[in-house]
Structure 1
Amino acid sequence: MRKATVPLIIVVIIIVAAIVFIETYKKEETGVLVISGRVEADEVMLASEIPGRLIKINIDDGVSVKKNDIVALLDSRELRANKEEILKKIKSYRARIRAAETNLKHLKKEVEHQIEQAQKLLSIAESRKSQIKKDLRLKRQKYKRYSELFAKGVIPKDRYEEIELAYRTAVDELKVAQAEVERARTAVKNAIDSRLKIKAGEDEIKALRASLDAMKETLRIIEVRLSHTVIRSPVDGIVLKKTAETGEVVNPGGVVGIVVDPESIHVKTYLPEPYLGRIRLNDRVEVVTDSFPDRPIEGYICFISDKAEFTPREVQSREERVKQVFETKVCFDKEKPIKILKKGMPVDVRIPVGSQKSG
């Protein structure tokens, strides 16, 4: 019995060795390295920029979206009411500014006219005063001479009194003329001072315009926030996950969905160190999925890490875990849409390998 067992063990060893030899020979014959990997892609968050309540969501898991497609809507009623209110205020302030500008224009004309008229009256008053002073000087001289003649009894009293009355009247007229000049000067000063009303009018318009500018800025902010009530997709892609529902309240940055950018789809795998010298960037490879094993997808090596690491933990055997590998990425031609690859899908990467390649 013992003798029969030994030949059986030998037969089993020979069979196993033959299988290993055949598989090894096949691998070398085909010259293809098969390593496992996983599909990865860049995720784009469809997020709200403002707080608000969702009133509509236009996406579901797995649907395609185009750049600028509307994916969700926030309640905008309050913002629209605020916009209407600020528009009314802007309209009112514009009307006030137009009225103030019209009043200021008229005020300027009126003030300048008043100044011009006051200066003319002052000129007339000063001219009249100057003439009266000349007359007074002559009448004073005449009065002085006639006073001496009257004192000597050369002229009669009535003639003297006539000359005296003319002189006294000229003195009174000069006082009146002087008063008129003072009043005219006061009128000119008041007219010039009324220019302060112009300054006040200009200041009022500046204040109104400043308020109008502030309202316009408020309107701009409201319009920006209104635009943010429409959440759009920033890229073409496929919705990986819908994360919010109609009626929910979202905060700024709140995500309503996650989109995968198809152009960023790639396979992440790990290249065993012994094959590092046989594979280069841009080498063509095939990616095979479990779902469609008969539909290999052509890609190319787009990244090989220059830093070695140990095999990821999901490799089960300890012997495999202690082997060093290099992170490698497989990319795909963008002009060839890759529809069967989904983020997170496990795949096999078939890499043609030959003899050691020279650098």
Structure 2
Amino acid sequence: MLKKLIVALFLLIVLVAGGYVFWKDRREPPSQDVTLYGNVDLRQVASAFLVSERLAAVYVDEGQIVEKGRKLAELETVRLKQDLDVARLAAAAAWQNYQKVKNGPRKEDVARARAAVEAAKAAWENARIRRDRMIPLSKKQSVSVQQADDAIAMESVSAAYVDVKQKELDLLLAGSREEDILQAEAEWKRADAECAIRQQRLDDAVLYAPCDAVVRNRILEPGDMVSPQKPVFNLSIMDVKWIRAYLTEEQLGQVRPGMNAVVTNDSFPGREFKGTIGFISSVAEFTPKNVETPELRTALVYEVRIIVQDPDNCFRLGAPATVVIRVS
């Protein structure tokens, strides 16, 4: 009798405990948070010069924190300054030529052309008088026919010479052609643009930090030849930072870009950093087989990047981090 009573009491306890667990599960919905574990991503900038020259000085070392706009390195500028001087002289010459063509002939040039026309007219008049004199004499056979012909030819040449000089004067009075002015202006602008290019090359001889960053690698040293294809530094961006983590197939349906997240780090217990889901890969990684069974689908993972604000530079690049995504 006692044994039956004990067994009945035990069964009652089991039923009550099972009912409580069932009731508790019905009362408390499962957690709506997605927890991920990742690392602070290395966002790097390969900082290089835009011109090819010899490296003159390097002002920062590895591990040093630099602010945006800080001078990092500098090139030798002797040849760059000489190129700029040549370009400036060419631009000055082109400007003077443009002004010359634009302003047209000087008054002295016009006066000289007028005098040439008057001289040509005087020579023509003299040739005409001589022709008129030689023709009657030729008929009287006082002079030869050849001399008369020469006088006639000289008069014609003198008349043509007057026409040439008059046209030269007309050209001076008309001024420069519009095409010549535009051509001279274009040559001046081209020389001025070349001067600006040389000035920009000289300005590019100084390398500045493009953002707040940490000098991760100092690749070149003073005396090395640099080019746009050879970075001088590798800079790691400080803010904003990315957390690289991975979603499972089951979690993928709960998370979408733009959702808020909380990021924590073991080095700062109790402190939470605000984050946002910025990117979710559309390609699964670590696929075990070409044909996935329902059991293997859960092994697929998708890269996700969480953008986290870290103005105090608390997170170290590559450090582990915990991400809690508020799905609800």
For normalisation by structure 2, the TM-score amounts to 0.63
Q: Of 238, 246, 256, which residue of structure 2 is paired with 1:270? A: 246
Q: Alpha carbons of 1:179 and 1:279: their partners in 2 closer, same or farther (altered >3 Å)?
A: closer
**Matches of residues 129-278 of structure 1 in structure 2 within 5 Å?**
182-190=153-161, 219-278=195-254
- What SS does the corresponding residue of 1:270 show, helix, strand or coil? strand
In structure 1, stretches of 5+ residues that fail to align are 1-20, 138-166, 313-318, 355-359
Which AA in structure 2 matches 1:114?
A
> Equivalents in 2 of 1:278, 1:102: separation in Å?
77
| CA distance in structure 2 between the partners assigned to 1:306 and 1:289 by the alignment | 27
CA–CA distance in 1 between the matches of 2:279 and 2:273?
Answer: 18
Alpha-carbon offset, residue 247 of structure 1: 3.2
Three-state SS of the structure 1 residue aligned to 2:274 is: strand
Give, in whole Å, the separation in 2 of the partners of 1:34 and 1:96.
74
- Whether the 8 Å contact between 1:42 and 1:264 is mirrored in structure 2 is no
- Structure 2 residue identity aligned to 1:327: E
Structure 1 partner of 2:311: 337
Contact 1:38-1:346 at 8 Å conserved across structures: yes
Residue type at the aligned position of 1:70: K
Partner of residue 54, structure 1: 55
Against the structure 1 CA distance between its residues 305 and 216, is the aligned structure 2 distance closer, same or farther, given a 3 Å change threshold?
Answer: closer
Alignment partner, residue 289 of structure 1:
265
Task: Check 1:183–1:40 CA distance in 2 against 1; reply closer, same or farther (3 A cut).
Answer: same
Identify the residue that residue 14 of structure 2 maps to in structure 1: none
* 1:158 matched residue in structure 2: none
Closer/same/farther in 2, CA of residues 101 and 321 from structure 1, 3 Å limit: closer
How many angstroms apart in 2 are the aligned matches of 1:323 and 1:101? Answer: 79
Between the aligned partners of 2:153 and 2:122, the Cα distance in structure 1 is 14
Q: Note if contact 1:289-1:347 (Cα within 8 Å) is conserved in structure 2.
A: yes
Matches within 5 A, 1:110-121: 110-111=112-113, 113-121=115-123
CA contact (8 A) 2:34 2:327 kept: yes
Q: Please give the alpha-carbon distance, in whole angstroms, between the structure 1 residues aligned to 2:312 and 2:276.
A: 13
**Is 1:72 matched up with 2:73?**
yes
* CA positional deviation for 1:83: 3.3
CA apart distance, 1:124: 6.0
For residues 286 and 320 of structure 1, do their structure 2 counterparts lie closer, same or farther at Cα, with a shift above 3 Å needed?
A: farther
Cα offset, 1:109, TM superposition: 4.9
CA distance in 2, matches of 1:301, 1:97: 60
The offset of 1:211, in angstroms, is: 9.2
Could you list the per-position Cα deviations for residues 203-233 of structure 1 after superposition, in whole angstroms to 9, with x for gaps in the alignment?
xx99999998886676455333322212233
Q: Hey, what's the Cα distance between the residues in 2 that align with 1:103 and 1:280?
A: 72
Q: For the residues of structure 2 that align with 1:332 and 1:83, how far apart are their CA atoms?
A: 46
1:291 Cα deviation after fit: 1.7
Distance 1:271 1:217 in 2: 54
The alpha-carbon distance between structure 1 residues 124 and 224, as it changes in their structure 2 partners (threshold 3 A), is same
Q: Which amino acid aligns with 2:319?
A: M
Larger Rg: 1
Distance of 1:256 and 1:351 partners within structure 2:
39
Q: In the aligned structure 1, how far is the partner of 2:327 from the partner of 2:187?
A: 74
Residue 351 (structure 1) shift = 2.7
* TM-aligned CA deviation for residue 74 of structure 1: 0.1
Kept in 2: contact 1:65–1:239 (CA 8 A): no
Aligned residues of 2:284 and 2:302 also touching (Cα < 8 A): yes
5+ residue gaps, structure 2, are 1-20, 289-294
More helix, by proportion: 1
Q: 1:234 to 1:270 in 2, by over 3 A?
A: same
Q: Specify the SS of the correspondent of 2:229.
A: coil
Give, as a single letter, the amino acid of the residue that structure 1 aligns with 2:38. G
Percent identity over the alignment is 22
CA contact (8 A) 2:91 2:192 kept: yes
Superposition deviation, residue 352 in structure 1? 3.7
